[in-house]
Structure 1
Amino acid sequence: MYMRKQWGKYALATMIVTGLIASGCSNGNSGDNGNGGNGGNPGGANGSNSSEGGVKTDGFPIVETPITLKMFTRVAPVNGPFKDMPVFQDYEKLSNIKVEFIETPTDGFAEKKNLLFASNELPDAIFRSGLSQLESIRYGTAGQLIPLEGLIEEYAPNLKSLMEQYPEIRAGITTPEGHIYAIPGIVTLGSARTDKRWINQSWLDKLGLNVPTTTDDLYNVLTAFRDSDMNGNGQADEIPLTARVGMPIVNQMAGAFGLDSQLGYNINLEDDKVDIWSGNDRHKELLMYLNKLYKEKLIDQEIFSHTEAQFLAKQGTGNTGYFFDQTNNNFLSIQDQYVGIAPPEGPHGDRLHSQILPVPRDYGAFAITSVNKHPEATMRWIDYFYSDEGSTLLRFGREGEHYEMKDGIPYYKEELLAVAEAQAKITPYAGGGAPHIISDKVASFINPPQVQEAFEALEPYLPEIRYASPMFDEATAQQVNILRNDIDKYIEEQSTKFIVGALSFDKWGEFQSTLEKMNVAELEKLYQEAYDKMDK
């Protein structure tokens, strides 16, 4: 049985590459990027607060003589032009560094990013780039991205401090050869790294039921939600349980059956042994439980077809009994109706909330290319956003105009909140993946008291140690991807069929045999070897 654990111990590596990118990139570079092979630190500090190249190692402006940098970036659908955002307008004045963004919409961004490297038409840096491990290692060893570890040491005091405070960050972004080619978005706020479990407390009160604490309790509560016409309209239109489309429902319920998500995959770790649990009997029990819920219409019958927008809209109707989401933003108008609860205990005594992301949450958010003539200034420029002050500017804009400080915490002004998507026009954090820190000092919008309380309900049941995916070398990463592309697709397809009843559990043996033929044992071996090499 998983015992209750205290929050705060997360030994992480990094996130696995989930898809191969276009290969055959040309680079036209020798690998000597002008940084002397010392991790991108030409010049260095000279005993003052300025480097030999005229870049200040602290304070502003970063450079006395203005410079311009070109950065390739992803623009989310909700965003406005980056040049109109106060963060970049004000930071240009503060730093003496002008940034010209090459903006690319989210749709098609990956393809354009690949083309950018394949053609070797590089900007100075890539902002909000979403580089995978395989991309960063491939482009770094090809000489198109420069190593950053030396620059971080000399020109990134905020990031360096975070890496010292959370050693898992360095472990999570360092290649097997010891280089750092990309830096992540960092989330030290625990509640920003996991979905909460929201239940309709007003329905429980109306029925005189307690919060469910076991999977059997949950089944009984969901049954009562289905059968009791909770909205009083005489129709059986209540949704007892819903989740994001596809496999998230499996992931959210896995902990009740003793199934963890170590190393960024379907992995349990026991006595330092990697166990990919996709074919074991605990997984079968989990799917049988979900099949029971689905067959009895206790799970949203659209869970394998609805869109993200439809799922979010269902939260705001008040007609849903139990669901999973990070914040309460989508049901603010009826927030008193819901409460965050602990995970249920399963049939074998397991009570685990396994779905929590690592501190370096958004891998590959920023990288510097080999054509950059000002790598020191560029590192200083990005490092500001790893401070609470810089993150406040990035996330909230201008004090007085866009936000107000209350007890040392920035809060959006009411007039900004009243306009749909207004925040997304003033900040690049909306849409995800921005290189910055999310701490409790800058998270008032996503971490209000109700969300904090919901996270506190989960804390005792978080894994004692959370290992994220290891950073494989390029050859191993490709091997892992080839194996996972087929295995993961098969697991998802068959799991869906088991849940909806399209595939009998009499076929479980065939499912296991097929996984063996797909060489899941070799995949397990590769994860074991990577885990054994990790600095734990």
Structure 2
Amino acid sequence: MVKRGKKIGAALLAATLVLSLAACGSSSSTDQSKGGTSAEGKTEEAPKLTHLSYWVSMHPAAAAQMKTYAEMGMYKELENITGVKVDFQHPPTDSAQASEQFNLMMVSDKLPDVIETSWIGYPGGPEKAIQDSKIIKLNELIDQYAPNLKKLLEEHPDWKKQVTTDDGSLYMFPFFRGGEKVRVFYGPSIRKDWLDKLGLQVPTTIGEWHDVLTAFKEKDPNGNGKADEIPLYFTKDDVGIDAPFLGAWGINYGFYQIDNQVKFGPIQPEYKEFLTTMNQWYKEGLLDKDFAAPNDKLFDAKMTGNQLGAAPVYNGGGIGKYANLMKDKDPNFNLVAAPYPVLNKGDKPLWGQKDFATNGIGAAISTSNTNPIETVKWLDYAYGDKGDLLFNYGKEGEAYTMENGKPVFLPDVLNPPSGVSLQQSFAKHNRSTWSAPFVLSDEFQMQYLALPNQRDALEVWSQPTDERKMPLVTPTKDESSQYASIMTDINTYKDEMFLKFIMGAEPLDNFDKYVKKIEAMGIEDAIKIQQAALDRFNKR
């Protein structure tokens, strides 16, 4: 749930790096009965570890207030429970630098004991990482030493399908979104106070959006007497896999499927129609002039400076964040969710943001790990009953209290001071507002979505069918290098042309030439690879 830091599942490989550990060989006699039980209710022997190093790309909400995840309430309490000290090592938050550091790490002789990342993005997929002797196959270890995760996978075979390779390998301790309420957290938003001032309704179609954005530009809804309103902010990343605005044409910015047949959105005729509309909006001044060079701090300044009328945002890191930042500065500020737009009134939206049970992120154990059994036990703690409380909420008494048998966050966690976002408040205690190897609960989500606008957003953004979304497929080892070679060039070109077409640097009359160039770059071969991967996934 993060942005401006958009969905981890769609980010670059390094943007989703999270954990790695380097174990020492000494043992500890801590008693795991202090912290949890097995799936069968039996007390487990403690993991015989005393020290782990854990390499993680730190989330901005945590980085704003701590130097290491070791300062987080959840991890401090986990150390008290298990006796295992974790030394977190954080790469730069810049995705390019993090990617470079990850790549250097993966070719080194000594790997961290545990590496958490989006393994779907590993070249060749997670099975290739096993074949490359970078991470270990976990099937037998989970079967013997991870009763909590084993039970969970047995109870949810669809989840197991999503975290198993085409060859049947389990390779990580996954991040799971446990229920429907925690799988939708991103979508279009709009200033309802501006709409009310101008006597307008929340738009639902592309045509209505055009009318509303034009009014935002021309009718001074912020009331300062200046023509400084920015009607709509969205970037290439916002178009993305979940396709706000682009999805109105029934396609997305990457691969999708119709009746199990794979297609590539940016070469479809509908994509030209989308670009034509966005080019018109850009010419009319309805799009932020800085959309080609997104900047999170600049976005924050524009939103809190009462300039932005609409933008795709996160529920917690957007609607909740700005409501809290603006509650003292402007009591009238009212950012609400808008439906994913369609072309025709009454159409059912096909595209929206909804994660699968897993987003491909998880903690894998490297081949350098000298204590894999103990590490498996340590990681499995998160999937038990007490681990569920710790990872979703934090330490009891510091972050939450039990009321009528249910965990309830303390008032100072749910009501941070002005200038501190709710996500930052939670980040002192847990990683539940982004990801970690555990099961995120609906009960957590409904407390995190503390504001009526946030709960309304969950309902509004849950409407799309997402029937065309590709599952988390992976190419084979043989397909991987070919696919990467093709798509690296194609993605660079399509991103470049996305900006040129919208900004008018490239005339839309050249769209057919653009399509032919992508075809010449090998897109049909990439579609065949994706099709084969989809067919294998469906047979898992």
User: Normalised by the shorter chain, which TM-score bucket?
Assistant: 0.7 to 0.9
Residue 285 of structure 2 aligns with an amino acid whose one-letter code is K
Q: Say if 2:127 is the partner of 1:137.
A: yes
Q: CA contact under 8 A between 1:57 and 1:155: conserved in structure 2? A: no
Task: Evaluate the alpha carbon distance shift between residue 521 and residue 425 of structure 1 in structure 2; reply closer, same or farther with a 3 A threshold.
Answer: closer
Task: Evaluate the alpha carbon distance shift between residue 89 and residue 489 of structure 1 in structure 2; reply closer, same or farther with a 3 A threshold.
Answer: same
CA-to-aligned-CA distance 1:351-398 (integer Å, 9 cap, x gap): 425242533544243011234344333223222323564244235432
SS in 1 for 2:375: helix
Q: Say if 2:270 is the partner of 1:286.
A: no
Task: Evaluate the alpha carbon distance shift between residue 321 and residue 465 of structure 1 in structure 2; reply closer, same or farther with a 3 A threshold.
Answer: same
**Gap runs ≥5 in structure 2:** 1-7, 15-31, 328-332
Partner of 2:349: 352
Task: Evaluate the alpha carbon distance shift between residue 80 and residue 56 of structure 1 in structure 2; reply closer, same or farther with a 3 A threshold.
Answer: same
C-alpha separation in 1, matches of 2:261 and 2:483:
18
User: How far 1:115 sits from its partner (Å)?
Assistant: 3.3
Q: Say if 2:309 is the partner of 1:312.
A: no
Partner of 2:287: 299
C-alpha separation in 1, matches of 2:358 and 2:302:
27
Partner of 2:309: 321
Partner of 1:216: 207
Q: Higher relative CO (CA 8 A, sep ≥ 6), structure 1 or 2?
A: 1
Q: 1:92 aligns with which of 79, 82, 85?
A: 79
Q: TM-score, normalised by structure 1?
A: 0.80
Q: Say if 2:487 is the partner of 1:511.
A: no
Q: Say if 2:488 is the partner of 1:490.
A: no
C-alpha separation in 1, matches of 2:295 and 2:474:
32
Q: CA contact under 8 A between 1:186 and 1:438: conserved in structure 2? A: yes
C-alpha separation in 2, matches of 1:65 and 1:16:
34
CA-to-aligned-CA distance 1:117-147 (integer Å, 9 cap, x gap): 4232133323x44443336333311333211
State which drifts further: 464-473 or 212-221.
Answer: 464-473
CA-to-aligned-CA distance 1:216-249 (integer Å, 9 cap, x gap): 1111111111111112221111111112x43424
Alignment of 1:256-271 (within 5 A): 256-260=248-252, 265-267=254-256, 269-271=257-259
Task: Evaluate the alpha carbon distance shift between residue 217 and residue 56 of structure 1 in structure 2; reply closer, same or farther with a 3 A threshold.
Answer: closer
C-alpha separation in 1, matches of 2:164 and 2:11:
14
Partner of 1:442: 444
C-alpha separation in 2, matches of 1:116 and 1:276:
33
SS in 2 for 1:184: strand
Q: TM-score, normalised by structure 2?
A: 0.79
User: How far 1:103 sits from its partner (Å)?
Assistant: 4.6
C-alpha separation in 1, matches of 2:190 and 2:532:
41
User: How far 1:425 sits from its partner (Å)?
Assistant: 6.7
SS in 2 for 1:160: helix
User: How far 1:493 sits from its partner (Å)?
Assistant: 0.8
User: How far 1:257 sits from its partner (Å)?
Assistant: 0.7
| Aligned length in residues | 486
User: How far 1:510 sits from its partner (Å)?
Assistant: 0.9
User: How far 1:283 sits from its partner (Å)?
Assistant: 0.5
SS in 1 for 2:442: coil
SS in 2 for 1:467: coil
CA-to-aligned-CA distance 1:164-185 (integer Å, 9 cap, x gap): 4544432333222211222332
Q: 2:265 aligns with which of 277, 284, 303?
A: 277
State which drifts further: 419-428 or 196-205.
Answer: 419-428
SS in 2 for 1:352: coil
Q: Say if 2:55 is the partner of 1:73.
A: yes
C-alpha separation in 1, matches of 2:111 and 2:177:
29
C-alpha separation in 2, matches of 1:249 and 1:142:
34
**Gap runs ≥5 in structure 1:** 1-13, 21-48
Q: Once the two structures are aligned, what percentage of the paired residues are identical?
A: 27
Q: Say if 2:189 is the partner of 1:198.
A: yes
Residue 252 of structure 1 aligns with an amino acid whose one-letter code is P
Q: CA contact under 8 A between 2:50 and 2:85: conserved in structure 1? A: yes
Partner of 1:123: 112
CA RMSD, Structure 1 to Structure 2 (Å): 3.4
C-alpha separation in 1, matches of 2:227 and 2:312:
22
Q: CA contact under 8 A between 1:195 and 1:324: conserved in structure 2? A: yes
